[in-house]
Every structure is written in C-alpha cells, then in structure tokens.
Structure 1
Amino acid sequence: MSILSLIIKREFIAKVRNKSFIVMTFLSPLLFVAIAVFVGYLSSMKADVKQIAIHDETGLFANEFKNSDEYHYQNVSAIDVKILKDSITNHYYEGLLYIPKVDDTKELSSKIQFISNDSPSLSFVSQLENIVAKKLTKANFEKAKLDTVAIKNAEAKVNISLAKSSGEESLKGLNEIKIAIGGAFGYLIMMFIIIYGNMVMRSVIEEKTNRIIEIIISSVKPFQLMMGKIIGTSLAGILQFIIWAIIGLSIMFVASSVFGVHTGPTAGVSPEMMKAAQSEMGGTFALYLKELWSLPITTLVLSFIVYFIGGYFLYSSFYAAIGAAVDNETDSQQFLLPIIMPLILGVYIGFFTVMNDPHGTIATVFSMIPLTSPIVMLMRIPFGVPIWQLLLSMAILFGTFFFVVWFAAKIYRVGILMYGKKPTYKELFKWLKY
C-alpha cells in the first residue's frame, strides 16, 4: 500500500473515530429537526395586536382603515390630541395617526402625521399612505366632477403570456425556480468547503502544536501528507453527509407512516383541494412539471460532483497551507478572509446577476474564474450552458487546483517546522522560493 493511501486511511479513521464527529453526525439532524419545528411553531403564533389611534379632524378617513390580525384601528377623533399623545407615551396605543383639518385637500397630503414612540415599519407606513391616497384621489375625481365608476371600469388589467421562439408556451417564475435549484447546489458546496476546509486546517495545526509533525515528516513528503489530509477529511465528510441523508429520509418516513404527516409538495393539502387545483390549474401545473423535467438534471448532478471535488480540493489546499503557516487558530484569521470572500462573492453574483442575465458577461466570466466557478456555474447550468463553457470552466478549475497544490506544498513544507512566529504575507511569498 502506498504512503499516500496510508495517510488517507489514517486521516479518515482519525476523523470518524473522534467523539465530536460521532456525536455531531447523529445529533445534527435532530438539531435541524428541532430548529425547524421551533421555527414552525413561532411562525404559527400570532403576533400581539397593535392598537392604532386615529384622530381625523376631516371626518373623511376614519372609516377607511380596516382591522387586521396585526393592527386594530380606533377612531378617537373626539379626544384631544394632547391626551392621545400621553396615551402613546404610556404605551396604551402603538401610535397615533393625526389627520388635521385643512382648507385644501392638496395640503393634506403633506400635513398628515404618524406619532409613535418607536419608528414604524416601512410596509405599515406605506399601507397607511395608500389608504389615504386612494381616498384623496377619489375625492379629487368627485371634485372635478369625474365619474369614478366609469374610471374604475376603464382600468385595464394586462396579463402578458410568455412563449419561446420555437412556439412553445412558457411560464412565469421559471427563472426563480432555476436559480433556487442551482443556488441550493452552490450553497451546499460553499458550506462543505468552509466546514471541512477548517477541519483540514485544525488537523494540521494540532499536529504542528503537538510536535507530531516532526516525526511524521521524517518519513513522508510534505506534499503526500497534505494531500492525504485533504482526501481523508473529504471522505469523512462524504460519509457524514450520507448518514445525514439516511437519517433525514428515515425521519420523514416515520413521520409519514406513524403520525400521518404527508411530506412533499402536497403536504397539508386535502384531496378535495388537490382535485380543485388540478381542475383549475391542471394545464399550468403540467407545464411547470414539463419545464422542470426539461432541465439538464443529469448535467447538473454530474457537474455538482465534479465542482464539488475540484472546489473542495482547491480551497482545502489553501486551508492546509494556512494551518502549516500558523501556530493556532487565532493567527489564522488574517489569512481566512481572502479565502472566504470569493465564496461569498460567488453567492452574490449567482443570486443578483445570474438570475437576471445568466449568459451575460459578468455571469460568464465569474463562472470561469476557479475561485467562484463552483458556485456561479452551478447556478447557470439550469438556464442552459454551452458544453464548451462547462468543459473549459472545469479544466481551469482543476488546472488551478494543481497549481495551488504546488505552491501550497511549498508553504506547507516550510511552515510545518516554523514555531513561535506569526507569519506575514511577505514571509509566505519568501517561502515559495525555498
């Protein structure tokens, strides 16, 4: 058995036998379920009803405000404004909508005030403004002797249908669905890189701190040791994800069979409601299914595996080099930010650029840059990517990986034997020349 395979086996066994690894492997799914249940419970709880006082000196708007689950409106126009302000100070009312009496309704649009101790939400203020604006608009129409009924009937509602150049019917919201699918794969890769890249770095720091590395390096090349740690840790991470998937599917199956909980897109929907939805939107639902099945699912899954391997190995090389250069995790923080920033940038590029322009210059360029391609390219694939771009991106990613491994091994070779000194970027550059 080769030295590299022995190192991989050692790292894998050391990780899976670790108590924290075993505990978190079986405890994490339960924590995720508990958090999901808790979030669902919180979302089902109704918020405290907020009392809003309305002092309307014009007498035109008080009856326009309707109660909701969150806000209750009370017409207190007969009470003095000063008394109402005291009530707000004493927290009896959440706020006071003060509508003064003016001679001209044009002045009223800038004279209305909402008085409260705390600043209200933007959506709530916008809701108040819309109610007042509709009433003022109607009053202006009546003042101009315009037929408001005729105006309302004359309002046109436009529903633009979508179609492809081939003549097939298309649907709205497909871009959002595609970016959600690609984003899920990209985000999974990012989390895996951060979590298990840190595990590689901690492993190197631990062996360096315990001086075990001095014994190991006497019979193993630094490059072999670094690659063994990267591959062994990745295998342990893959095993952990497989266990999580099995536990998650088992919990879903038990919940479905024992408690009668339906999982999937039809969960919580009665058969009668499903039949009604199918009869009313059967055609639309079928089109959505057709569009989803037309996505390059095989290409997406295979690309996920390739980008997962390439992206993880690329970033783990950086993490291993950092672990060799420092003596503790505190000193590593100055080097981690430049590594994490491209991952965050890839997520932002994906959600804010790919969705609107998946084949544009920005999306295409960042899907070729190896530090962001594992995330951006996976978000582009559901929109359809030319095969030459996909192959070129993968080639650049793995080519960069081999280059990074080469210079990371140089840093690793020198850094694992350096103690008691915080390295700088200048010193790391010098190590590359040794």
Structure 2
Amino acid sequence: MSKLKLIIHREFIAKVRNKSFIMMTFLSPLLMVGMGALVFFLMKKNDEKVKEIVYVDESKLFTKDDFKDTKTIHYQDFTALGVDETKKKVEEGNYYGALIIPKQDSLELLAKSIEFYSKDSPGMSVISSLENKIESKIRNEKLNNFGIDLEKIKASRIQSDIKMFNFSGEESSKLINGLKIGVGAIAGYLLMMFVMIYGTSVMRSVIEEKTSRIIEIIVSSVKPFQLMLGKILGNASAGLLQFFIWGVLLTIIWFVASTVFGIDMVEMQTSKLPAEQLEAAKKAVDIDKFQLIIQEILRLPILKMFVLFIFYFLGGFMLYSSLFAAVGAAVDNETDTQQFMLPIMAPLVLGVYVGFATVINDPHGSIAVLFSHIPFTSPIVMLMRVPFGVSWYELLISMALLIVTFVFMVWLAAKIYRVGILMYGKKPTYKDLYKWLKYKG
C-alpha cells in the first residue's frame, strides 16, 4: 500500500503541476462563460438584422394585414410591378427575397404553387414563418367557403396547462423538466469528455515512460498492477480537484453575474425613469421569472446528483482508464494506438447518443433503464436519468455492476500491462493481446 500511495502521489503532483493543467483549470470556466456570452451576443446581433421581403400576390387573396412586419422581417407589396420586374429588382437590390403567389383555380393548387426567390439560400425560420402565414390564410379562406364562422372558431380556442404531480404530492412543471434535461445532458457530456481527456492522459503517461525506458527501472521496485492502478487513481484525483475548482469558480461567476447584471443593472437603468414608468419597466425585465428558475434549480436533487456524479466519474474513469493504460503499455508510440481506440471510444459515444435519444423522451423507458445498467454506458446514461428520479434499487444495481466490471477490467488490463510494458519494436495486434492475456509468467 505504501508503494501504491507513492505512485498515486507522484502522478497527482505531476499532473497538477503541469502548466497546461493549471491554465485550463482556471481559464476553462471563463472560456465556457465567454463562449456562452459570445453565442448569445451573436444570436442577438443576427436577430437585429432586418430582412426586407417583397411579395407579388396575383391571387388577390392576401392583404397587407396577412404580411405584418415583425422585428426581423419587413414586407413590401410589389404586386403592381409584376413577377418579372420584381425578380429583377430583388436580384439587383438589397432585398432578402421575393415571394410569388400565383393565381390558381383552387386553394389546394395555390398552396402548392407558391414560390420564393432569393440570391442566397434562405433561412429555415424565414421559410417556416412564410409557410405558417400562407397556411393560416388559406385555411381560413376554406373555412369561409364552408360557411364556418371564424370568430366562433377563435372563441373556441383554449390553452390547457396540465399540472404534474407524483403520488407523494410533489409538483413538477415544464420548466423543471427542461432543467432536468439540461442538467442531465451537461453532466453526461462532461463525464464523457473527462473520461476521454484523462484516460488518454494515462495512456500517454504510460507510453512516455515506456519509450524512455524509465518503466524498466520502476517495475523493478513495484508490481505492474500497482503501477497501473496508481496512475489511474492519481489522474482521477487530479480530475476531481479540477472539478472542485471549476465548481467554485462557476459559483463565484454565477453569483457576481446575477448580482451585477441581474438586479443592479435593472436598478441602474430604471432609476432614471419617471415614477409612473418605473414599475412597468421593472415588470418588463421580469425578475420573477429569473427567481423562479433559481427556485426550480434548487428543487433538483443537487446533493444526490453531486454524489452520484463523483461516483460515476470515478467508476467510469477507472474502468476506461484501465483499458487506456493497457493500450499505452501495448504500443511503442501514440500513432499505433489508433487501431485499439475505436472499441474503447465506441461505448462512450454510444452512451451519449442513447442518453439524448431515449432519456429526454422517456427517462424510465426500457432502453434508458437497460443502458443505465450496462457498465460501459451507465456512467453517462444513469447521470442523465438521475434528475428525473431513479429508485435506489436501480442505482444500487447499476453501481454494483460498474464496480464488479471495473475490478474485472483492471485485472484483465493488468495482464496486458505487465507483458506490454516490456515489449518493444513490434506493432501489436489483437492476436498478440489475446496471447498476453493467456500468459501466466
């Protein structure tokens, strides 16, 4: 145990003293926040650009009221110019596009014969908006032809808001379901990324020691199994430290942003308004909605999710890192690892795809439950399911299977590791790995 502790300490210190580790630990939260802010800013700037769309209505069915201007789209009626002249003006000018509505004998034919011309491919949101306007107008026209009163149809429309409860009386909502999906997806994706990053770090460390022949000196003092396990636990400890620092930094950033840009900015902007406009301006900012989101986040099983995230991170990392270490021991350089990486990476990627495809739609469905129990995908899929509530017996089964599989894979990888670290000059194959597994020397 003393030798194992020394190896863990050596790997941990070597990792945390690395300049790239220090820089990424403190810069990554800022980069994530900055990238999010940049994407939000670019989306807002993109929405600010007004698109000029002209239309020619030969059907005489549409009016100006059917093409009302929005914040991002302005419509102009070019019916008087005709189709050819309109196309020419749009092609030569700064217009976004031209909507051509021909004259047809029936509404069905009209709906399928409308055309849109533009210099560049139009955005899907623009086309979808135009289609909705046209479909709504044609549908109303057909209802009028059937002698149906549109006002009565409008009066009959009503929105329902189903309140969701479980049998213990706990209330849910669409907002909290969306937060559960977001939190679960982020946790699963982060785990996959960290397993890949730190797993390959273990593999590179083994390759470096092997190519420099330092490994020959080390294994004369410790067993290969102890060396491999020490590398895995040392890197896992560094990963947990990085997670902890990130959590602290993101909490500080969140607190500062919500304080400075949430309430203080509102007060600064609204304090200059007259008293009669002050209350309306504050309502427009809708601080209550922000507070509601905070309350819904606090209702999530945060402590349970944190504990399980640590467990599945360690379990998943140690499971996959043992395989990465075995691959690193089997090869002489990083280029030769490519042939062995696909079988290791495939379950991780599969877990993410299964999580997004099944957990979002049905977190307690048979597929989601199955893959949350399979050890190679459970660290990702189960983390995505946890925010939706998972029974303890399911968690215990999943955790037990992960631990058993980890112990077995470490034992299996150690058999490859103890032979591979002293093999040089030959590019290994799967057949060679099988022989090493059978080796009993």
Fold shared by both chains (TM-score > 0.5) = yes
Counterpart residue identity of residue 12, structure 1: F
SS in 1 for 2:120: coil
Does the 8 Å CA contact 2:176/2:296 hold for their aligned counterparts?
A: no
1:329-368 to 2 correspondences below 5 Å = 329-368=334-373
Measure, in 2, the Cα distance between the counterparts of 1:239 and 1:168.
35
Is 1:98 matched up with 2:126?
A: no
How many angstroms apart in 2 are the aligned matches of 1:267 and 1:423?
A: 67
* CA distance, structure 2, for counterparts of residue 411 and residue 229 of structure 1: 16
Q: Deviations over 1:111-152 (max 9, x none)?
A: 211123433333322321221222223333333443322333
Amino acid at match of 1:16: V
User: What is the aligned partner in structure 2 of residue 181 from structure 1?
Assistant: 183
Residues 178 and 90 (structure 1), Cα distance of their counterparts in 2 relative to 1, 3 Å cut = same
Once the two structures are overlaid, the 10-residue window that deviates more, 152-161 or 56-65, is 152-161
Aligned to 1:299: 304
Report how many residues are paired.
Answer: 428
| Cα gap change, 1:241 to 1:379, in 2 (>3 Å) | closer
Letter in 2 for 1:23: M
Please report the TM-score for the alignment, with normalisation by the length of structure 2: 0.85
Going from structure 1 to structure 2, the CA distance change for 1:140 and 1:383 (only over 3 Å counts) comes to closer
1:141/1:27 CA distance change after superposition, 3 Å: closer
1:377 to 1:267, Cα distance in 2 relative to 1, 3 A: farther
Alpha-carbon distance in 2 for matches of 1:20, 1:292: 34
Instruction: Find the residue that maps to 1:123 and give its secondary structure.
Output: helix
Q: Distance in 2 between matches of 1:197 and 1:168?
A: 40
> 2:427 is matched with which residue?
422
Residue in structure 1 matched with residue 274 of structure 2 by the alignment? none
CA distance in 1: counterparts of 2:161 and 2:262, whole angstroms: 35
**Mean Cα deviation higher: 39-48 or 364-373:** 39-48
Secondary structure of the residue aligned to 2:56 is: strand
Equivalent position of 1:206 in the other structure: 208
> How many angstroms does 1:42 deviate by?
1.9
Structure 2 counterparts to residues 13-412 of structure 1, below 5 A: 13-47=13-47, 48-63=49-64, 64-90=66-92, 92-165=94-167, 170-252=172-254, 260-262=260-262, 289=295, 293=299, 295-412=300-417
The match for 2:273 is: none
1:279-312 C-alpha deviation (Å, 9 max, x unpaired): 9989x959x958963x544433322222222111
CA distance in 1, matches of 2:176, 2:360: 10
**In 2, Cα distance between equivalents of 1:246 and 1:290:** 21
Distance 1:274 1:352, change over 3 A: farther
Query: Does the CA contact (< 8 Å) of 1:54 and 1:62 recur in 2?
Result: no
| Runs of 5+ consecutive residues of structure 2 not aligned to the other structure | 271-277
Superposed displacement of residue 58, structure 1: 2.4
Deviates most, 326-335 or 7-16: 326-335
The answer on whether the counterparts of 1:55 and 1:77 sit within 8 Å (CA) in structure 2 is yes
Moved more, 97-106 or 296-305: 296-305
CA distance in 1, matches of 2:360, 2:32: 29
Instruction: Give how far 1:67 is off.
Output: 1.9
Q: Which one has a larger percent helix, Structure 1 or Structure 2?
A: 2
**Deviation by residue 1:53-111 (Cα, 9 ceiling, x = unmatched):** 21111233251112223222221112242233334444633222111123333321222
Alpha-carbon contact 1:252-1:263 (below 8 Å) kept: no
How far residue 313 of structure 1 moved from its aligned partner, in angstroms, is 0.7
- After superposition, the Cα gap between the structure-2 partners of 1:395 and 1:34, relative to the gap in structure 1 and judged at 3 Å, is same
Normalising to structure 1: TM-score of the pair? Answer: 0.86
Check 1:268–1:143 CA distance in 2 against 1; reply closer, same or farther (3 A cut): farther
Confirm or deny: 8 A CA contact 1:175 1:355 kept in the other structure.
Answer: no
Which residue identity lines up with residue 307 of structure 2 in the other structure? L
Indicate the SS of the match to 2:121: coil
Pick closer, same or farther for the CA change 1:60–1:414 going to 2, 3 Å: same
